[in-house]
């Protein structure tokens, strides 16, 4: 699609050029085949043509669309079109040989037996050079300046200019016009662009057509093209002669050849040269490569690849652990069934990711299609992460390593939160959803996160297995227990299709799902109910159900808890207080790519951010900064020199007022409870698990 759009723009440019020149468009389009007046050659020139039927021409192979080597290994571009026209006018034939990229010496041309060189600049330097004679220009365009994003081009500024080593004659031209410039040589045009992008050079100067080709490469996006440089780029042919007079070709032969070329060039109408140029630009637009695609979508591709690698590693470890557990607790048949189900659950989304990767590679030029595929791959990766989280929960529960965090729980607030989180999904599917709570003790001791996890699992199942037009109801009541605690009874009832009698004994089996057309395409991992019952029993309660086909299902979740005082509400700052400035963030991360992504995300969100490559560097940067310079430290836990725990403790121990107040947030892939507790014990304020939810992280940073 992008290629077609470029061709249309180029065609429009052809029309504009023709109109500006006062030439009808049809005339410009026919200019290629229009006959030109035959040049009048002298006897000496005719004799030279008869004696030199084939000439060896060296051409620059990296100046698209002026002069370059095409996929077939032949000279292509404007220079080739002009050579073909010249050949038809004077009767000479040409053999084209690519010149090496970089500087080409006179000795190389003589030793190689070259007669001509194409795409040579017409300037005083070349006019006065020994051993070469140059023709009149066959193409005149402009040189333009390409500058870095933050570079201001001024003729009197001490700027560093990158030039290709194959364009040495521009050195003296720049020296005369811009004496404050410093010239640096690079091997190739891409090397010049990379130098400007990387800050090693401030700008480069090049033919405008060549710049238009290379600036389309995604890696060079953001660089500025400045057309204000007062330098023409006149390209001509150069004859190679033996200036010593001892070999061939002699200077006399060279002057005859240049005379022939000048007459042929003069016989080619200007509108024909313009047509050659437009056609070369149209036919040689920059084509995106896989490398360009990977660069433009590098963050999405990184997340995609990292997701696959992490999930594959976790899957391997979890499979190995699960196999050991099953081998100890069940017979070979149970082990085989688990592995088969596990393989299916993981292979299905992985197959989707691999397929999406192939489709993205096949549609590099179709940005809307690519964006759709990236959205699908992100959703699939999130599903895989939820699968891994569920498997980790099951593994910890079965191993007895899950610990509850008992705190006062505000039950009415919890039910309101659950209703808000699930209500939109119910409404979107067309379900009536109602919450009825008769709570005598609104605050009890319990694990709020785990209670909410069970409720969300039950409500999500009810939504998935209830067709549109049905209803889902959550009811809650309480009874007093003999030990002074309160038992909370929560029931989730739906009018869905229910479950068959045969499936009742498998409801709490891992990965068990009774699939039908109601839930098709929206099934989960099959681990929600097993995890929920295990959590309910860990809390001292239980999870039971009743269900009949066609009459819906009812799940009853009970958990005990001592009555407690509600937690104090967070204080809200006065409304007339000015908003706090966004804090400067220090990102302590030893993985370079993770650090680059985090810095860019924070910058786009409006935060100033700096990077420390390990724990010791994070400590040093904080200690050397002015008091209050950093408001937040994002601390990875596993780093060289000093790990995150040691670095956080060392920052807290510094003798400066902000060492006690700076907000330190653990940002790590270690998501177990013991890691969180160790992070808080080392002096950190909060904890965010990777892969990072940026909305959650930004909220924590902004507190």
Is 577 within a domain? no
User: pLDDT tens digits, residue range 674-696?
Assistant: 778 888 889 999 888 777 777 78
- 227 and 265 share a domain? no
H/E run at residue 612: strand 609-612
CATH number of residue 664's parent domain = 3.40.50.2300
Is 506 within a domain? yes
- 454 and 555 share a domain? yes
Higher pLDDT, 27 or 500: 500
- 605 and 663 share a domain? yes
d(CA 474, CA 431): 13
333, pLDDT greater than 60: no
d(CA 614, CA 628): 21
- 239 and 121 share a domain? yes
648, pLDDT greater than 60: yes
Tell me the chain's radius of gyration from C-alpha atoms. Answer: 37
32, pLDDT greater than 90: no
Lowest-confidence pick of 165-174, 218-227, 421-430: 165-174
Alpha helices in 284-410 (DSSP H): 290-296, 298-329, 332-362, 367-398
Is 567 within a domain? no
How is residue 204 written in tokens? Answer: 């480069």
- 336 and 413 share a domain? no
Between strands 160-164 and 203-207, the pairing is: parallel
- 375 and 441 share a domain? no
* Residues paired with 147 in a beta bridge: 203, 224
Average pLDDT of 273-280? Answer: 87
- 63 and 204 share a domain? no
User: How many structural domains is the chain composed of?
Assistant: 5
Is 119 within a domain? yes
Average pLDDT of 458-480? Answer: 91
CATH number of residue 184's parent domain = 3.40.190.10
- 219 and 309 share a domain? no
CATH number of residue 497's parent domain = 3.30.565.10
- 145 and 170 share a domain? yes
Q: Which residues contact 87 (CB under 8 A, 6 or more apart)?
A: 93, 94
How is residue 624 written in tokens? Answer: 């050397």
Mean model confidence pLDDT for the chain: 80
Is 566 within a domain? no
Could you list the residue range(s) of the whole structural domain that residue 475 is in?
A: 407-561
Is 580 within a domain? no
Higher pLDDT, 272 or 228: 272
Q: What is the pLDDT of residue 11?
A: 39
Is 390 within a domain? yes
Q: What is the pLDDT of residue 283?
A: 83
- 239 and 227 share a domain? no
- 252 and 299 share a domain? no
Higher pLDDT, 255 or 320: 255
- 251 and 105 share a domain? yes
CB-CB neighbours of 128 under 10 Å: 8
What is the percentage of the chain residues whose pLDDT exceeds 90?
24
Residue after which a domain boundary falls, among 398, 430, 451: 398
Is 419 within a domain? yes
Can you give 43-97 as a three-state secondary structure string? Answer: HHHHHHHHHCCEEEEEECCEECCCEEECCCCCEECHHHHHHHHHHHHHCCEEEEE
Q: What is the pLDDT of residue 579?
A: 41
221, pLDDT greater than 50: yes
Lowest-confidence pick of 22-26, 76-80, 198-202, 607-611: 22-26
Average pLDDT of 147-155? Answer: 82
Q: pTM of this prediction?
A: 0.43
pLDDT band at 303 (very low <50, low <70, confident <90, very high): confident
């Amino acid at each position: 699609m992008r290629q077609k759009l470029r061709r249309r723009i180029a065609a429009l440019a052809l029309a504009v050029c023709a109109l500006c020149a006062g030439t009808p468009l049809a005339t410009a389009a026919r200019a290629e085949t229009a006959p030109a007046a035959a040049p009048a050659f002298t006897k000496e020139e005719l004799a030279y043509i008869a004696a030199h039927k084939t000439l060896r021409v060296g051409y620059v192979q990296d100046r698209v669309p002026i002069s370059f080597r095409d996929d077939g290994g032949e000279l292509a571009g404007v220079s080739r079109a002009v050579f073909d026209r010249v050949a038809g006018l004077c009767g000479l034939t040409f053999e084209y040989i690519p010149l090496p990229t970089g500087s080409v010496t006179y000795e190389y041309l003589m030793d190689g037996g070259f007669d001509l060189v194409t795409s040579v600049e017409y300037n005083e330097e070349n006019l006065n050079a020994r051993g070469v004679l140059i023709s009149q220009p066959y193409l005149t365009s402009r040189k333009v300046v390409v500058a870095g994003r933050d570079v201001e081009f001024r003729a009197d500024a001490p700027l560093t200019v990158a030039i290709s080593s194959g364009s040495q004659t521009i050195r003296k031209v720049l020296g005369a016009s811009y004496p404050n410039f410093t010239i640096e040589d690079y091997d190739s045009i891409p090397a010049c662009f990379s130098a400007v992008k990387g800050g090693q050079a401030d700008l480069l100067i090049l033919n405008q057509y060549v710049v238009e080709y290379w600036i389309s490469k995604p890696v060079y996006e953001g660089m500025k093209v400045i057309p204000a440089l007062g330098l023409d780029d006149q390209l001509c042919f150069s004859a190679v002669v033996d200036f010593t007079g001892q070999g061939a070709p002699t200077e006399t032969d060279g002057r005859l050849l240049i005379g022939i070329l000048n007459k042929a060039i003069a016989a080619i109408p200007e509108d024909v040269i313009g047509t050659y140029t437009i056609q070369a630009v149209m036919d040689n637009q920059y084509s995106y490569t896989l490398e360009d695609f990977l660069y433009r979508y590098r963050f999405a591709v990184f997340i995609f690849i990292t997701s696959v690698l992490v999930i594959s590693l976790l899957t391997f470890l979890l499979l190995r652990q699960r196999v050991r557990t099953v081998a100890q607790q069940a017979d070979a048949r149970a082990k085989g069934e688990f592995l088969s189900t596990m393989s299916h659950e993981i292979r299905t989304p992985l197959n989707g990711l691999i397929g999406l990767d192939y489709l993205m590679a096949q549609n590099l030029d179709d940005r809307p299609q690519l964006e759709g595929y990236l959205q699908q791959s992100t959703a699939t990766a999130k599903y895989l992460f939820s699968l891994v989280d569920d498997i980790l929960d099951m593994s910890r529960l079965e191993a007895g390593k899950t610990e509850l965090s008992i705190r006062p729980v505000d039950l009415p607030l919890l039910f309101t939160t659950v209703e808000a989180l699930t209500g939109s999904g119910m409404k979107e599917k067309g379900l009536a959803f109602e919450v009825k709570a008769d709570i005598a003790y609104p605050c009890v001791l319990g694990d709020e996160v785990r209670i909410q996890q069970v409720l969300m699992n039950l409500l999500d199942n009810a939504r998935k297995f209830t067709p549109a037009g049905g209803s889902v109801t959550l009811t809650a009541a309480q009874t007093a227990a003999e030990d002074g605690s309160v038992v909370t009874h929560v029931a989730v009832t739906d009018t869905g299709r229910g479950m068959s009698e045969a499936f009742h004994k498998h409801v709490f089996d891992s990965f068990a799902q009774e699939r039908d057309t109601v839930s098709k395409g929206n099934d989960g991992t099959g681990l929600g109910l097993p995890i929920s019952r295990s959590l309910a029993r860990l809390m001292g309660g239980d999870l039971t159900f009743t269900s009949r086909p066609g009459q819906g299902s009812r799940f009853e979740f009970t958990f005990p808890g001592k009555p407690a005082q509600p937690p104090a509400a967070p204080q809200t700052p006065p409304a007339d207080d000015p908003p706090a400035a966004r804090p400067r963030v220090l990102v302590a991360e030893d993985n370079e790519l993770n650090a680059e992504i985090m810095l860019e995300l924070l910058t786009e969100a409006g935060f100033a951010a700096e990077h420390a490559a390990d724990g010791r560097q994070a400590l040093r940067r904080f200690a050397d900064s002015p008091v209050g310079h950093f408001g937040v430290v994002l601390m990875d836990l596993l780093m060289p020199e000093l790990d995150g725990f040691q670095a956080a403790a060392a920052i807290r121990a510094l003798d400066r007022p902000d060492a006690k107040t700076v907000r330190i947030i653990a940002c790590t892939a270690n998501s177990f409870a013991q890691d969180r507790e160790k992070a808080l014990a080392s002096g950190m304020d909060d904890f965010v698990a990777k892969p990072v939810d940026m909305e959650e992280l930004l909220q924590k940073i902004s507190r």
